[in-house]
Amino acid sequence: MNYESFYATKVAIGTPPYDALLLMDTGSDETWVQGEGCTKCFDLISGNFKYKESRTYTMESCDNPFCDPRICIENVCHYGLLYDDGDHTTGYLSSETFKFPSEKEDKIYTDVIFGVGLENPKEPFMKDENTIGGIFGLGCGPRSILTQLEDETQLRFSYCLFDLTSGRDSYTYLHFGEDAQIIENEQAVVQETSLLPDQNQYHVQVLGIRINKHLLPINQREFQLRDGSNGGFVIDLGSTLTYLVPNAYNVVRNEIVRYLEEAYN
């Protein structure tokens, strides 16, 4: 669904089900939802996940293979994640039943690994009447929903892009696996860009930036992926902005200023 500047998806967690609206994020693997009893919380009008009342909830121990890195307190595994903008979330590494709405029949999966957030970013995801309760991790790591449910997702997903004027009531389906393929006539109108292989995030190769068909004088080294997965360009649904290193940003900014001055004085 289209919520302000984000794309969010619905999922029912636990028994009885807690209806969660989670922000789609390809920049991280962690799926988490704010839990009841959190010590640092953001406003959430739908209320927090009451994990203690769920009959299918499990708090994972440090013996679980998904407990990596091993953040252990009294043999309970904790997760911790620091985002690029400085926000963070920590809490219990847990497993639960997840139910996804579908066009045909709802899909139910048991023992899905996720986090119950107890210390979360101070700012809510939405400025007014925030309904987004956490993150839906679509990264390519082991705790990603894509990887956990690989038999179903085939490590493939797709969704439609909304016009910002379409409003909150606009929605589409997040497709996985066979449903996410581009087939028949659609293939002819879709341009593809390969992702760089063997990376811990979704990296794409950028060769240059053009403004008004003019290729800007930016050294390609500024765009290159370096050792240790540093640099390069990453696709991140959790960010509303495109970020450039200063040597590239300054060239782009100056060209935009020059173009606007010539076109509109």
> Does the pLDDT at position 1 exceed 70?
no
Residues 6+ apart with CB under 8 A from 69: none
- Rounded Cα distance between 79 and 115, Å, is 7
Q: Encode pLDDT of 208-237 as tens digits.
A: 999 989 999 999 999 999 888 788 999 998
Report the pLDDT value the prediction gives residue 168, as an integer from 0 to 100.
63
> Does the pLDDT at position 22 exceed 60?
yes
Q: Domains of the chain: which residue ranges? A: 2-178, 193-264
Q: Is 160 helix (H, G, I), strand (E, B) or coil?
A: coil
**What is the rounded end-to-end Cα distance, in angstroms, of the chain?**
40
- Rounded Cα distance between 254 and 262, Å, is 12
CATH of 2-178, one of 3.40.50.300, 2.40.70.10, 3.40.630.30, 3.40.50.720: 2.40.70.10
The number of CA neighbours under 13 Å toward the Cβ of 96 is 30
Kindly write down the DSSP assignment for every residue of 205-255, as one continuous string.
-----EETTEEP---GGGG-EEGGGEESEE--TT-SS----HHHHHHHHHH
12, two tokens:
């029912």
For all residues of the chain together, what is the average pLDDT? Answer: 90
Q: Encode pLDDT of 106-129 as tens digits.
A: 999 999 999 999 999 877 888 888
Report the pLDDT value the prediction gives residue 99, as an integer from 0 to 100.
97
